Amino acid sequence: MKRVVITGIGTINPLGKNVPEYFHNLDLGVSGANLISRFDASRFKTQFACEIPDFDPEGFPEVYDRKEARRTDPFTQYAMIAAAEAVKDSQLDLSKTDLRRIGVVVGSGVGGIHTFTDEMRSFFENEEYPRFSPFLVPKFITNIASGHIALKYGFRGPNFGVSSACATSAHAILTAASQIQLGRADIMVSGGTEAPISIPGIGGFNAAHALSTNNAEYRTASRPFDATRDGFVMGEGAAILLVEEYEHALRRGAHIYCEIAGFGMTCDAWHITAPREDGESAGDAMELALREAKLNPSDVDYINAHGTSTPLGDLAELRAIQRVFGDAAYRVNISSTKSMTGHMMGAAGAVEALACIHAIQDGVIPPTINFQHEDPQIDYRLNLTLNERQERKVRVAISNNFGFGGQNACLAFRAL
Residues 32/235, Cβ–Cβ less than 8 Å: yes
User: Of 343, 356, 358, 410, which one is the catalytic site residue?
Assistant: 343
Rounded to an integer, what distance in angstroms lies between the CA atom of residue 348 and that of residue 194? 9
**Pair type for strands 48-49 and 102-107:** unpaired
User: Of 148, 248, 306, 358, which one is the catalytic site residue?
Assistant: 306
Active site residue 343: yes
* Helical segments of 268-370, H only: 280-292, 311-325, 338-341, 348-362
| Residue 118 C-beta-side C-alpha neighbours within 13 Å | 17
- In our burial notation (b when 16+ CB lie closer than 10 A, e otherwise), range 329-347 reads beebbbbbbbbbbbbbbbb
**Pair type for strands 407-414 and 258-267:** antiparallel
Question: How many residues does the structure list for the chain?
Answer: 416
Rounded to an integer, what distance in angstroms lies between the CA atom of residue 6 and that of residue 413? 10
Active site residue 148: no
Residues 235/49, Cβ–Cβ less than 8 Å: yes
User: Of 166, 258, 356, 410, which one is the catalytic site residue?
Assistant: 166
Residues 6+ apart with CB under 8 A from 41: 35, 47, 48, 202
- Catalytic amino acids? 166, 306, 343
